[in-house]
Chain A
């Protein structure tokens, strides 16, 4: 059973056209993360939510925003995608406070910017 779900799996957008990627989880985890991963590179953390508290990484461009309307859902909004934003976007969750603190990843959304 899927635990972290990302939709869509593939997204094509035009240069400058806003796009939203979505993530949902059935784990009731209190922390949700968004990563950007470019080809052959490590996942790069963009931001995370600890419950409703939003934590932005210092080098995340202003072009990237996020919303977490409830525990289960988290959205990544790219306001004006550029060619350099083409990447795989990974959502992950964890329950902070448990002994494991493993992150559970979704399958990712591959974004193509034309």
Chain B
């Protein structure tokens, strides 16, 4: 079964609003990563958070990790139409490979 499960499956917001996506996983991890995928394109790495970190920022992105709850969240602040994409969390389980969640489809309306 997939390691990561994400919610919501889809999110529609107005430009300028914040978007929050959540990811849950099942086993211990080395790190958790978030990726973005524009329609019909490859995935682009956004941010990586290690198992001993609790929060990380990158521009308008903020990621939190709670290893006790096996969950992570991605916050995009002041969203833009260009943020419209699918967002995937992926866990690195010390095995040389990532396991992806089902993704959240974000639509930012201008």
| A-to-B contact residues, CB < 8 Å | 4, 6, 31, 33, 40-45, 48, 50, 55, 88, 90, 92, 96, 100-108, 110
CB of B13 closer than 8 Å to a CB of A? no
Check B2 against A96 for contact (C-beta < 8 Å): no
Closest B-chain residue to A45, C-beta based? B97
> Could you tell me the distance between the alpha carbons of A48 and B31 in the complex, rounded to whole angstroms?
19
Check A105 against B2 for contact (C-beta < 8 Å): no
| B-to-A contact residues, CB < 8 Å | 2, 4, 30-31, 33, 35, 40-45, 48, 88, 90, 92, 96-103, 105
Other-chain residue from A41, A90, A100 in contact with B42 (beta carbon distance below 8 A) = A90
Check B44 against A105 for contact (C-beta < 8 Å): yes
B11 CB, nearest partner CB in chain A, Å: 14
Check B31 against A110 for contact (C-beta < 8 Å): no
Given A107-B42, A110-B40; 4 other pairs, CB 8 A cutoff: A42-B101, A45-B99, A101-B48, A108-B40
> Could you tell me the distance between the alpha carbons of A41 and B98 in the complex, rounded to whole angstroms?
15
Task: Tell me which residues across on chain A come within 8 A of B42, comparing CB atoms.
Answer: 4, 6, 90, 105-108
> Could you tell me the distance between the alpha carbons of A43 and B2 in the complex, rounded to whole angstroms?
10
Check A48 against B41 for contact (C-beta < 8 Å): no
Closest B-chain residue to A104, C-beta based? B45
Check B96 against A102 for contact (C-beta < 8 Å): no
> Could you tell me the distance between the alpha carbons of A108 and B96 in the complex, rounded to whole angstroms?
21
Task: Tell me which residues across on chain B come within 8 A of A50, comparing CB atoms.
Answer: 96
Closest B-chain residue to A33, C-beta based? B97
